[in-house]
């Protein structure tokens, strides 16, 4: 798990350096964002959360669907799974981690992905982004893999909740779960 987090953090840090040389050292374009000033109102529609876990290392607590399986308050799925040691593991419905990546870098230009949708928002009283993108093939994943993430700013870090359109995973349904889990996020440090 530590290796996954390190690779994700390094990928995002490299992304902050500018990918193709264009706009290097500049802020992401404000034309890509749709700012909202308030937190979304919690709804009763969609996936119901009934279980909770806490990551002492990550400094967060999050709720997840009661009938789901979780490991380390990082990996979540409706089906039982086993995280292989020494590998990068994306084959679960939802991933949650705290990464040493500032929110502007997380939402900025990155040669490993093409941003399809980006929204600035507030979650747990903090700045946050919702981002949907497709991989370019220059990172860990093959070209064309869609993913969705919610990043919540915590000092110079971000708590990131994400899902990937891999294999038989229900990408659209899992996006809803990510949003609901993000609404439940509590920072513990």
What percent of the chain stands above pLDDT 70? Answer: 75
Residues 14-48 have pLDDT tens digits of: 344 444 444 444 444 433 444 444 444 555 566 89
Mean pLDDT is lowest, of 63-67, 87-91, 93-97, for 87-91
Q: Is 43 exposed, middle or buried (0-12, 13-18, 19+ CB in 10 A)?
A: exposed
Q: Is 166 a domain residue?
A: yes
Q: What is the mean pLDDT of residues 165-169?
A: 91
Contact in structure between 109 and 136 (CB atoms under 8 Å): no
Q: Is 105 a domain residue?
A: yes
Question: Which comes out higher in pLDDT, residue 80 or 27?
Answer: 80
Q: Is 26 a domain residue?
A: no
Q: From CA 31, how far away is CA 102, in angstroms rounded?
A: 20
The alpha-helical segments, DSSP class H, found in 63-155 are: 103-106
Q: Is 160 a domain residue?
A: yes
Question: Which comes out higher in pLDDT, residue 144 or 22?
Answer: 144
Question: Which comes out higher in pLDDT, residue 33 or 53?
Answer: 53
Residue 117's domain is classified under what CATH number?
3.40.1000
- CA 37 to centroid of chain Cα atoms: 20
Q: Is 62 a domain residue?
A: yes
Q: What is the mean pLDDT of residues 136-160?
A: 94
Q: What is the mean pLDDT of residues 2-15?
A: 40
Number of domains in the chain: 1
Q: Is 115 a domain residue?
A: yes
What 3-state DSSP class applies to 168?
coil
Confidence of residue 9 (pLDDT cuts 50, 70, 90): very low
Residues 99-136 have pLDDT tens digits of: 999 999 999 989 999 999 999 999 989 999 999 999 99
Q: Is 40 a domain residue?
A: no
Mean predicted lDDT score pLDDT of the chain: 81
Q: Is 144 a domain residue?
A: yes
């Amino acid at each position: 798990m530590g290796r996954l987090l390190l690779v994700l953090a390094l990928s995002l840090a490299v992304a902050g350096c500018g990918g193709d040389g264009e706009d290097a050292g500049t802020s992401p374009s404000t034309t890509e964002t749709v700012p909202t000033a308030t937190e979304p109102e919690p709804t009763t529609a969609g996936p119901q959360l009934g279980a909770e876990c806490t990551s002492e290392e990550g400094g967060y607590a999050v709720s997840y669907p009661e009938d789901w399986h979780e490991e380390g308050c990082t990996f979540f799925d409706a089906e039982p799974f086993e995280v292989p040691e020494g590998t990068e593991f994306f084959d679960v419905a939802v991933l949650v981690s705290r990464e040493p990546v500032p929110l502007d870098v997380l939402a900025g230009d990155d040669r490993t992905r093409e941003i399809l949708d980006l929204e600035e928002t507030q979650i747990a009283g903090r700045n946050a982004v919702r981002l949907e993108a497709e991989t370019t093939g220059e990172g860990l994943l093959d070209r064309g893999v869609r993913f969705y993430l919610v990043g919540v700013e915590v000092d110079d870090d971000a708590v990131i909740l994400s899902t990937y359109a891999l294999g038989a995973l229900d990408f659209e349904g899992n996006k809803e779960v990510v949003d609901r889990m993000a609404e439940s996020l509590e920072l513990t440090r």
